[in-house]
Structure 1
Amino acid sequence: MVELFTKLGIPGPCPNFFVGNMMELMGKGKLVTEVMAEWENQFGLVYGYFRGTRATLVVRDAELIKDILVRNSSEFINRPHMIMNVPPLPYTLVGLRSQRWKEVRNTLSPTFSSAKIKQMLPIMSNCVQTTLEILKEKSKSEVRSGEQAVDAHKLFQGLACDVISACALAMKVNAQRDENDRFFRAVRGFLENAMGPFVKIALCFPLLATVMEWALKTFGYSHEMTKMIMENVQTAMKIRRDNHSTSGSVPVDALQLMMDATVQEHSTSPPSESTTGSARSLALSDDEIVANAWVFILGGFETTSASLSFTCYLLSIHQDIQERLFTELKASFAADESPSYDQISELAFLDQVVCESLRLYPPVVSFVVRGMDKDCQIGPYHVPKNVGIQIPIWQVHHDPEIWSEPYRFDPDRFEDNAKKSYGNNMQWIPFGTGPRNCIGARFALLNLKFTLCSVLRKFKVVPASNHHSFKLKLKVPSVTIVPEEGIPLRFLPRIE
């Protein structure tokens, strides 16, 4: 194990024979981002480590990142092979590989175009209306009985669950009003335990992967959530097809858009490898539709709720920036008006605030990874196949040579056309980049911006009175960085 990177002339921490560098990465007391920062300081911008028996090459050199994600993306089009093939993950854009991934990605891409996402704004608006009602009730309760701090992370987890369930799963969830909602609990449980013991054992002892697959399906937190999603989506698809054949009317949401993207007669299993030509490439199986609806909640739930929470936290401790943003919102739409898609698109300072928040707290810190099915050249290094390539987003976004005072919240970094420049130079890549970037980035940004517009137009966000010097404690339970102990904030109604 040690000899692999040594022979390549690539430095890195010394791995344990059985667990690789898992003890350092997942041990208590340090975040994975802190461990990787220490490794970078010690070994440089390119180094290797082991997740169990899996070799991973970390690359933070900007030109090499562009080679991997953009210039030579066809050589790095796949993610590493999955540790365990637990359905429905193999049928998702995360699990699909090579040609079939390209076909499904091309078929699904129009679902996440600006025009299509714009059609889902009314669904978001209904869910955010519940958020506003909850904050209004909290403010009235505060008048009667004293300060009522709101855990922003828990609030926005409920909102994210409601929005994604309504848009992608055809599920009516009441997570904002009921934190004990069965589906809400199942989603939170799954994400909190995504890197649980079954996965860790499979990483360290690949021969036990099949046994761990069975254990995960039988006892894992994902079982309840997956069963609920699959049953609900399959039922919704059948009802919609039956209704369409009689009435011709269909709802407008991501699930329907995925169904519409399948132009062939629907099938009940993935297209076979023997199927050729455009007929195969244009068809999504029912399994693939259900699987990608399933992955929508995994990809969007914690990333959206954490980003909303972090942004509100930053604005609460930077009142001058919050007031600048409020001034822009006030000039754009009235307090009793729901912002339109076009209005949101024209809010320049809002975009700067969101960009800076995503720089400071990128949604995922260890998910921009690539796998190779053959040997390849990365800069001066000849890297053998099956070595994973990881782009350390946190380190990219906090490089002091790129970002002056990298831990300072300064939206003016993104004024004018700076966002495009940073992105082109691989300095700001919160959603990845290149052909395998996050397909749901537009949806996530609209959800984030619409919620911020709606909340901040009506409420001023301040820290809870006993948390004015509050410093966030963070954790990375899987690939998303989230607050460890919640974010207590007060939302004070604005009086005009």
Structure 2
Amino acid sequence: MITHVLLVVLVIFSIYFYRQRKGKMQIFEKMGIPGPKPNFLFGNLLAFWRMPLFKKYQEWYREYGKTFGYFEGPTPVLVTADVDVLQQVFIKQFKKFHARKVFPVQVDPDGDENVHMFFARGERWRRLRSIVNPAFSSTKMRTMTPLINHRIDQLLDIVDDHNANERSFDSYELFQRLTLDTIADCGFGMDTDALMNNDDECIQNCRGVIRDTTKRPILFLLGFIFPALHRVWISIYHLMGLISFNPVFWLEDSMRKIIQKQKKHKPSKSNLLELMLTSEFNPETNEIDVGDVDQRDNVVKRRLLTNEELVAQCLLFLLAGYETTSTTLAYIMYEMSVNPEAQKKLQEEIDDYFPYDADNPSYDQIQKMEYLDMVWCETLRKYPLASTVVARQCMESCNINGINIQKGMLVQANVWSVHYNQEHWIEDTQKFIPERFTEARKSERHPLAWMPFGSGPRTCVGLRLAQLEGKMTIIRLLKKYTFVPSATQEIPIQFVEGATILPKDGVNVAAVLRSP
């Protein structure tokens, strides 16, 4: 009898679940938005099991047009390459789209304490952003240039050795070591040694985190299919971390130790963590240590960070500073090696600004280098490495250019299709043409035709540091060497998709000493 009752309940629940899911998946049909037909359980997730997200978006773009819809489990995702719609979402109606996409196995951006700035939204995001912004001012950037130059000195020693022994090398792997040491030092005063020791524990675990994002674990699939069970998936994720090693937890523990150390001993030089520590709030004692500030001021209290927020922020800046800059540098190195004319033109600009061997680039000089900036921008047009996370969640139902977007719907920018749309770029978009980014050309183009890291108020806060470090590195490398592809480098370059779009087999080059 009990078995029959349970069977009946199960059948009723299954019918209810099926009808509810099918009803949700009619939303784009009702809106008149084209797109692939979803499976009632998976939505369109299985399409990404066979092809990377950014390539599937381009395929659907060719099939359905600039704007289409698909489902991640039951969650509707509106994908668009319409730059006017993107401008409304990312800039003009930002208040209705201030939240980023919530992934299935991540912290709750509203309820959890250990939320960093990338996932935070609303007033919490505003508070975190206001604390961190001063760390990336032009004044701070100028103070960081000697430290960055010191790390580039170490990088050049390694390249010199490869050149002396006539060895090609993976520049991507080398840039990872550089950017890890730089962000660890500039950001947290961490004593990493990745450039001198490729087995450094910190870089091995940073690589492990990024490598894990290229996998397709069943737990994440379940999280997409049943998002309402978010807490269950998070608990399983943490339980798995107790059973097997998880590099994320190792890095978090390392951050906690660094934070405790800097609380006890003020660092010899200012860094990002010190800035955040001076804005920390301890909810247990209700004591605020922010110097000569009125501790009764509620505005000040709202600006203060808890210890878990500090850990989350540090982890974000460590991984983002390490990964995005090194990958951008790798793609620049690839394009310079396969486009010798562009490389020569950039070397000529470098020689004009830095005619002597002893010259090291400064922040102010770099801002004047037009062709270097064009190379940087064109590389990110061809390789918008952070494209899969350029998305916003609608927080208030609204109408965008005739499209009725309901609260909770995700709007995903189809960045690769925008960046490869010849309407915006005139010449063949497969070619590397830095001159697309002259001031005259930029003024004629839609402002959202180029958005490698998104646009609007939530653009990357560390972009200024990434550009400074990246451009300083390119200047010093190309001042001394010309780079050519190695015999093992695949042309065109191949990709693998994870947290960012990565060069699948690195970027293998040989360094040729320039003539005096």
Same fold (TM over 0.5): yes
Matched to 2:116, the amino acid is T
Q: 2:124 aligns with which of 100, 110, 135?
A: 100
Shift in alpha-carbon separation, 1:136–1:238, aligned structure 2, 3 A:
same
Distance of 1:302 and 1:265 partners within structure 2: 30
How far is 1:374 from its partner? 3.2
The answer to whether the 8 Å contact 1:46/1:58 transfers is yes
Matches within 5 A, 1:140-155: 140-142=164-166, 148-155=167-174
Residue equivalent to 1:252: 270
Matches within 5 A, 1:228-239: 228-239=250-261
Q: 1:242 aligns with which of 244, 264, 270?
A: 264
Gaps of at least 5 residues in structure 1 are 143-147
12-21 or 210-219, larger mean C-alpha shift: 210-219
How far is 1:234 from its partner? 3.3
Q: 1:31 aligns with which of 40, 52, 59?
A: 52
Shift in alpha-carbon separation, 1:106–1:419, aligned structure 2, 3 A:
farther
Residue equivalent to 1:91: 115
Distance of 2:150 and 2:285 partners within structure 1: 35
Residue equivalent to 1:192: 211
Residue equivalent to 2:395: 373
Q: 1:160 aligns with which of 165, 169, 179?
A: 179
How far is 1:420 from its partner? 5.9
Matches within 5 A, 1:203-214: 203-214=224-235
133-142 or 168-177, larger mean C-alpha shift: 168-177
The answer to whether the 8 Å contact 1:120/1:253 transfers is no
How far is 1:466 from its partner? 5.4
**Secondary structure, aligned partner of 2:77:** strand
**Secondary structure, aligned partner of 1:13:** coil
Q: 1:279 aligns with which of 279, 300, 320?
A: 300
Residue equivalent to 1:132: 156
Distance of 1:187 and 1:206 partners within structure 2: 28
Matched, 1:177 2:196: yes
Shift in alpha-carbon separation, 1:33–1:81, aligned structure 2, 3 A:
closer
Residue equivalent to 1:495: 515
The answer to whether the 8 Å contact 1:270/1:286 transfers is no
Shift in alpha-carbon separation, 1:419–1:74, aligned structure 2, 3 A:
same
Residue equivalent to 1:427: 449
The answer to whether the 8 Å contact 1:183/1:225 transfers is no
The answer to whether the 8 Å contact 1:13/1:48 transfers is yes
How far is 1:462 from its partner? 0.6
**Secondary structure, aligned partner of 1:120:** helix
How far is 1:313 from its partner? 0.8
Query: How many residues matched?
Result: 477
Residue equivalent to 1:443: 465
Distance of 2:49 and 2:260 partners within structure 1: 43
Matched, 1:122 2:146: yes
Residue equivalent to 2:323: 302
Distance of 2:42 and 2:186 partners within structure 1: 40
How far is 1:325 from its partner? 0.8
Distance of 2:455 and 2:220 partners within structure 1: 27
Distance of 2:327 and 2:284 partners within structure 1: 36
Distance of 1:268 and 1:340 partners within structure 2: 45
Matched to 1:443, the amino acid is L
Matched, 1:415 2:438: yes
Distance of 1:117 and 1:267 partners within structure 2: 33
RMSD between superposed Cα atoms in Å: 2.6
Shift in alpha-carbon separation, 1:128–1:206, aligned structure 2, 3 A:
same
Gaps of at least 5 residues in structure 2 are 1-23, 288-295
Shift in alpha-carbon separation, 1:178–1:486, aligned structure 2, 3 A:
same
Residue equivalent to 1:54: 75
How far is 1:185 from its partner? 1.8
